[in-house]
Structure 1
Amino acid sequence: MIAENTEITAIKFQEIYYTLYPRLLSFSLKYVKDQFVAEEVVEDCMLYLWEKRKELQAVNNLKSYLYTMVKNRSYAYLRNNHKEIPLETVNYESISQEDQYIIEEEAHAILLNAVEELPDKCKKVFKMSCLDGVKYKDIAQEMDISVNTVKSQRSRAIELLKRSLKDKPFVVLYLSLLLKM
């Protein structure tokens, strides 16, 4: 279909467009969940391909390049419009260990700032149970409250954190992973 490392002529571009457009459209739709937006994303990518066709002659795998561009522009749309990035679409293997560490540290710092905004009892219960790993029974004894109160304060803290962090999906993911430990 696409001969790599050759000039993209009008005929070749038309072949690429008609072959890949439907696939790229459904690929973008997986992310943005909106037909109109997905069409815009794919059309922008195709326009970019046409405008930069001379520079893109050196691209080894044009199909892969287009899929990556569509994915990145779909993510950009979601970020810019404060939409949640579907977690099942994130390829964590493509993130280097150093980047993972930086993301985790940043998520942890943002989470700790949000924890400080919680009501006092929720904050104390959350810190003890989720961050320090103290058992419910021990928290109840230390705070002189029932185990059920500990559970409800923890649940309330988690709900308040998820609400306050709703525009930061990676921090919510980090929180979810923290809760499973």
Structure 2
Amino acid sequence: MSVISLKFKDLFEEHYQNLCFFTYTLVNDKILAEDFVQDAFIALYNNQEILDKEAKVLKAYLYTTIKNSVLNWARRTKVERKYHDLTPFVDFVDLDFDNAMIKAETVGEINKIIAKLPDSCQNIFKLYYLEGLSTKEIATQLQLSINTIKTQKQRGLKYIQSKLSPEFFLVLYFILK
């Protein structure tokens, strides 16, 4: 495998999930979001001279490519809906790309930290905070006591808090609420 192919593969593995999350927050369609991300990576791969740039430039290129693709898609969709007289269209000009990107990056970093939790704690944390199950539902599903679930949630939060700055932890708190 060539150096460029390896660099591209590493870039894909590092950013694909965050880019999908970012795009999903804009289009609210998982498959469409994955298509936009895939198209951005194809555009990057076809633009061989940019692959020599540093990682930050490539990451910015991917986010910008996706942002522009979503805007173009939104404009086309708006025109199509106008002529087909479908349901009212959400105006994508008001989308907050910066906040969506910050949220995607934050979630990506948090996922890396969550992955370092012990398996049982990680599972409980995901069920409660990411899937929205109640403590009682988790206890029933995992056949554990409610106190065990509460303890594992607290341990997970304390671990994550210890790995994040106070400001970053506040962002996490508001994302999870």
Shorter-chain-normalised TM-score: which range?
0.3 to 0.5
TM-score (norm 2): 0.44
Q: Which has the larger radius of gyration?
A: 1
TM-score (norm 1): 0.43
